[in-house]
Amino acid sequence: MLSQVVELIESKQRFLITSHVRPDGDSMGSSLALFWTLQSLGKEVVVAFKDNVPYSYRDLPGAQEVQRMAEVEEPFDAIFVIECSDMNRPAIGGLEKQFVVNIDHHSTTALFGNINWIDSTAAAVGEMIYNLCKALGVTVNQEIAECVYTALLTDTGSFHFSNTTERTFKIASELVKRGARPAHISHSLFYSNPYSKIKLLGKVLASLERDETGRIAWVVMPHNLMGQIGATEDDLDGIVNYPLSVGEVEVVAFFKEMQPEHFRISLRSKGTVNVAKIAEKFGGGGHKNASGCSVKGKLEIAEQQILGSLQTAMGIIPVAAD
Ligand SMILES: [Mn+2]
């Protein structure tokens, strides 16, 4: 599949790169790394997302080049859809009318592209773009190196998650050799928070609860809280990971009341519990250690449904007999 992507890039000229709504470090880093790769080959390339570039990623090389787009209105030779489980994830209209290249590292992705390049062994899509860059014979410059490093750093949870391997460090080492600045990148990702984010974190963490086994913890953000603090959706990023730092906690659920009685739920696992399976039950998705879904209704009902499913999956409560 990599060779098909190489052949396509070599033979075509005009490309669009996009990724999912509320882009994360891998979608931003991978999209911009591909942008710089195509640029250095003299291609015409547009990077466009439905949403704004999140605050944490505003310093990434090329972040100011990212456009906002709701509908693809002109023809491209190909559109790269990065890290998306299906064609609707970018929330950009008109993709289906064009030649689409699906690039992802989640084995659960739908094969929606005209070309589907899926590598579930890659720690991040950024790693795949790095391989693509090499396959194209493009020199990894500082821009590419910093974008790929950001993708690797964020998707491995700062090299904490189980997708961190010897290969991850080998690539990270090569990226640093090519000009990526680890301290600079970490500073803009982790030590440049807006005040509102830390205020929100404090309020949300104050709601922390756990089940009787102590293996499941959850936090809640009521609908009016963001308005009171003046916080944005960006400020929600990463909060779910804090309760996971409690020793015996294996799984965390974060109930975010985005609209009254409409909860967006983030699930995280640091053990063997596959939270993608739980999210899928509620029409969501993700991967083994990080997933999300939505539930409508009162908080008590949302909690009962999600926490009940987690307890069943973890063998805390027995599966009901038919
Ligand atoms: Mn990823």
- Rounded to an integer, what distance in angstroms lies between the CA atom of residue 136 and that of residue 7? 9
* 186 CA to centre of ligand 1 in angstroms: 18
Residue 319 confidence class, pLDDT cut points 50, 70, 90: low
* 83 CA to centre of ligand 1 in angstroms: 6
Q: Give the pLDDT score at 289.
A: 87
* 318 CA to centre of ligand 1 in angstroms: 34
DSSP E strands in 84-198: the ranges are: 100-104, 115-118
Q: Would the pLDDT of 238 be above 80?
A: yes
Q: Give the pLDDT score at 320.
A: 57
* 127 CA to centre of ligand 1 in angstroms: 9
Q: Which domains does the chain have, with CATH numbers?
A: 2-190 (3.90.1640.10), 196-313 (3.10.310.30)
* 227 CA to centre of ligand 1 in angstroms: 30
Cβ neighbours for 143, distance < 8 A, ≥ 6 positions apart: 32, 33, 36, 61, 62
* 30 CA to centre of ligand 1 in angstroms: 9
* 268 CA to centre of ligand 1 in angstroms: 15
* 107 CA to centre of ligand 1 in angstroms: 11
* 124 CA to centre of ligand 1 in angstroms: 4
* 81 CA to centre of ligand 1 in angstroms: 12
β pairing state of 285-287 and 290-296 = antiparallel
* 316 CA to centre of ligand 1 in angstroms: 30
Exposed (0-12), middle (13-18) or buried (19+): which is 181, by Cβ within 10 Å? Answer: middle
The pTM score is 0.84
Tell me the pLDDT of the chain averaged across its residues.
Answer: 95
Cβ neighbours for 21, distance < 8 A, ≥ 6 positions apart: 49, 50, 51, 89, 90, 91
- pLDDT (mean) for 229-234: 92
Q: Would the pLDDT of 27 be above 90?
A: yes
Return the percentage of the chain with pLDDT > 70, whole number: 98
Q: Would the pLDDT of 322 be above 60?
A: no
* 41 CA to centre of ligand 1 in angstroms: 25
Exposed (0-12), middle (13-18) or buried (19+): which is 70, by Cβ within 10 Å? Answer: exposed
Assign 5 to helix, strand or coil: helix
pLDDT digits (tens, 9 = 90+) for 30-55: 999 999 999 999 999 999 999 999 98
* 26 CA to centre of ligand 1 in angstroms: 5
Q: Would the pLDDT of 216 be above 80?
A: yes
* 58 CA to centre of ligand 1 in angstroms: 19
Distances (CA, A) of 106 to 29, 225, 283: 17, 33, 17
Assign 81 to helix, strand or coil: strand
* 32 CA to centre of ligand 1 in angstroms: 14
Q: Give the pLDDT score at 37.
A: 98
